[in-house]
Amino acid sequence: MNKYFSIKDKVYDITEKYPETIDVFVSQGFTQLVNEKMRKLMGKTITLEMALKTKKVNVELFTQKLIEVIEQNRKSIDDSLTLQEEKKEADVRISGVLPCPVRIPLMDSFNKWMEEEGKSLNVSLAHELKAASSGVDWLKDEIERAETEESLSDIFISAGFDLFFDNSLMKRFKDKGIFEDITGLERLNEDFQNENIDLQDPDREYSIIGVVPAVFLINKEEVEGDKIPTSWADLLEPEFENRVSLPISDFDLFNAILLNIYKLYGEEGIKKLGKSLFRGMHPSEMVKSHMKSKRPAITIMPYFFTKMTREGGPMQAIWPEDGAIISPIFLLSKKSKKDILKPFVQFFASKEVGEILSHNGRFPSTNPEVDNGISEDKRFIWLGWDFIKENDIGKLIEECERIFNESI
């Protein structure tokens, strides 16, 4: 036993006391722990030792990784004020959030790159790359407080339309032309640059390094004898009212769904989406949803979670015929510092990072050298650069949320 936990402790107790360890569990295949309900259900019944045995994971090595993450987090908390001072003085400042399932391998890869190549750059670095589960409020605070380009971080990484396109947040800096796509990618992965979709910013200001696709998970026991929805249009039909679980707590993905449904089906589409929400999974009731006998027939979730489906089980993953709605993972970098920032940006846009996103997390990469394993018949639904430019995205999200909430 170490000073933080015992291998006889319940997984739930460890993750509750040290939330930063959730990423470590997920990176080792315990994908259910990202979902709070599943973490409570599974974590309260199984010890750390039992969990590791089921996955045939080396107990000693895994325990050491947990300890490292706990101590790193404690150090980051202790050094938070120091970090803010360092960020002011550093040559390169990176801020953002990374998808939980891939944060650990991405940070390991970044730290290795810094040790092998970063040192030769001879620049000082300050970075905060938190797990997406921690939210983006801290990023919004930084952007809201920033009055000049100099007071902003040099590189931002995150999913989220509101963060980067809200007029009161990053868009006011975008409109001044302070960002430039310096990934060096002339063409994106053919999954995202073809006759149906083009994620490359025509103004070459913003970069997209990957996407979070939303797909359907069908409970065959709940739809037995009924029509199985195969498209977003199907979900809006009256027969699926009060039968769909939506990723409301995943703000980035939920906002992407709201915006795309609005673009495709207007206000009426948002109202129908609100009516489809399974009441047992409303945010105020979500913590008790495992106690309910009635379950949603369809769950909308990130493609990553389809790893949890068991062959022969009641859950069936369906890629929507009209396309998986995507929440892009944006990367923004300052034009004025592109010479010094270019090696860092190219690392995050690299094949190595792309394969971690795509292969470890099922977050398909835009790097053209990455095989995302997405067949040609699986399409994506993307909001589009023209739609983004023509609308006040921040206000539109608020309006969609209002219509949705009034329809529930």
Residue 84, pLDDT > 80, answer no
Residue 226 sits in a domain whose CATH number is 3.40.190.10
> Predicted confidence band at 308 (pLDDT cuts at 50, 70, 90)?
low
Nearest to residue 126, comparing CAs of 164, 94, 80?
A: 94
Listed as own residue / partner, the contacts of 312-317 with beta carbons closer than 8 Å and 24 or more positions apart are: 314/219, 314/220, 314/221, 315/217, 315/218, 315/219, 315/220, 316/217, 316/218, 316/220, 317/215, 317/216, 317/217, 317/218
Average the pLDDT over 262-276 and give the result: 97
- Burial grade of 277 (CB within 10 A; 0-12, 13-18, 19 or more): buried
Provide the sign of the torsion angle of the four alpha carbons 345, 350, 355, 356, taken in this order.
negative
- The arithmetic mean of pLDDT across residues 230-245, rounded, is 95
Considering only the C-alpha atoms of the chain, give the largest distance between any 2 of them, rounded to a whole number of Å.
65
Range 114-152 burial, b when 16+ CB lie within 10 A, else e: eeeebeeeeeebbbbbbbbbeebeebbebbeebeeeeeb
How high is the pLDDT of residue 76? 53
Asked if 203 and 303 sit in the same domain, the reply is no
Residue 6 included in any domain: no
Residues 174 and 236 in one domain: no
Q: What is the mean pLDDT of residues 78-90?
A: 55
Residue 248 belongs to some domain of the structure: yes
If one compares 72 and 58, the residue with the highest pLDDT of the two is: 58
Q: Give me the pLDDT at residue 287, please.
A: 33
Domain endpoint, select from 53, 77, 101: 77
Q: Is the pLDDT of residue 289 over 50?
A: no
Q: Position 154: which residue type? A: D
Tell me, yes or no, whether 196 and 233 share the same domain: no
- pLDDT surpasses 90 at 384: yes
Q: Is residue 143 part of a domain?
A: yes
Query: Is 2 contained in some domain?
Result: no
Q: CB-based burial of residue 21 (10 Å sphere; 0-12 exposed, 13-18 middle, 19+ buried)?
A: buried
Q: What is the mean pLDDT of residues 279-305?
A: 61
Mean pLDDT of the chain: 88
Instruction: Kindly state whether residues 25 and 99 are assigned to the same domain.
Output: no
Domain shared by 260 and 319, yes or no: yes
Mean pLDDT of 361-385: 96
- Report the CATH number that the domain containing residue 49 is assigned in CATH: 1.10.3910
Are the beta carbons of 39 and 8 closer than 8 angstroms? Answer: no
Which of the listed residues 32, 60, 77 is the one where a domain comes to its end? 77
Give dist(CA 97, CA 107) in Å, integer: 11
309/217 same-domain check: yes
Whole-angstrom distance, CA of residue 286 vs CA of residue 288? 5
User: 316 and 270 in one domain?
Assistant: yes
Give domain status of residue 285, yes or no.
yes
355 has a pLDDT exceeding 90: yes
Say if residue 260's pLDDT is above 90. Answer: yes
Please check whether residue 3 lies inside any domain of the structure: no
pLDDT value of position 215? 96
Q: Is 282 exposed, middle or buried (0-12, 13-18, 19+ CB in 10 A)?
A: middle
Identify the H or E element spanning 315: strand 315-318
DSSP 391: S
Greater confidence (94 vs 249) lies with: 94
Boundary-marking domain end, from 77, 95, 123 = 77
pTM of the model: 0.83
- Judged against a pLDDT cut of 90, whether residue 346 lies above it is answered with yes
Q: How distant, in Å, are the alpha carbons of 126, 258, 262 from that of 192?
A: 32, 21, 22
Alpha carbons 10 and 17: distance in angstroms, whole number: 11
Same domain, 87 and 44: no
- State whether 31 and 116 are in the same domain: no
Whether residue 357 sits in one domain with residue 242: no
Please check whether residues 207 and 333 belong to one and the same domain.
yes
**Domain range holding 157?**
82-211+328-384
Name the DSSP letter for residue 245. E
DSSP assignment of 188-225: --TTSBSSS-B-S-TTS--EEEEEEEEEEEEETTTSTT
My answer on whether 86 and 199 are in the same domain is yes
- Looking at per-residue pLDDT, the higher value among 52 and 332 belongs to 332
Long-range contacts of 134-138 (CB under 8 A, 24+ apart): 134/97, 135/97, 135/251, 136/97, 136/160, 136/163, 136/251, 136/252
Token pair for residue 398?
């608020």
Contact, 139 vs 158, CB < 8 A? yes
Q: Is the pLDDT of residue 31 over 50?
A: yes
Tens digits of residue pLDDT in 110-159: 999 999 988 899 999 999 998 887 788 899 999 999 999 999 999 999 99
Q: Between 41 and 92, name the one with better pLDDT.
A: 92
* Residue 396 resides in a domain: no
Count of domains for the chain? 3
Instruction: For residue 95, give the 3-state DSSP assignment.
Output: strand
* 389 in a structural domain: no
Per the CB < 8 A criterion, the answer to whether 323 and 381 are in contact is yes
